[in-house]
Structure 1
Amino acid sequence: MIDRRGLRAEVLLVLGVSLGSSAIYAILRIIDRLTFVKPLSEQTATLNPSVTPDRPWLDLAYQLAGVTLGVVPALLAVHLLGRTTPPSAIGLDLRRPGFDLGTGAALAALIGLPGLGLVWLSREIGISAQIVPAALEPVWWAVPVLILAAIQNAVLEEVVMIGYLLTRLRDLGWNGWVAIVTSAVIRGSYHLYQGFGAGFAGNVVMGLVFGYFFRRTQRVMPLIVAHTLLDVVAFVGYALLKDHLAFLR
Structure 2
Amino acid sequence: MDKPVAIVTGSASGVGAATALKLAQRGWNVVINYSKSEKEAQETQAACQSAGAHTLLAKGNVASDDDCRAIAAAAVQRWNRIDALVNNAGTSVFGEDAKWDNIDAEVFQRILAVNTLGTFQMLRACLPQLKAAKGAVVNVSSVAGALGIGSSVPYVASKGAVNSLTLHFARQLAPDIRVNAVCPALITSPWFDKGMGEGGLEKAIAATEAHTPLRKPSTPEDVAEAIVFLIVGAPTITGELLMIDGGTHLGTRR
**TM-score, structure 2 normalization:** 0.33
* More helix, by proportion: 1
Between structures 1 and 2, the one with greater strand share: 2
Higher relative contact order (CA 8 A, sep 6+): 1
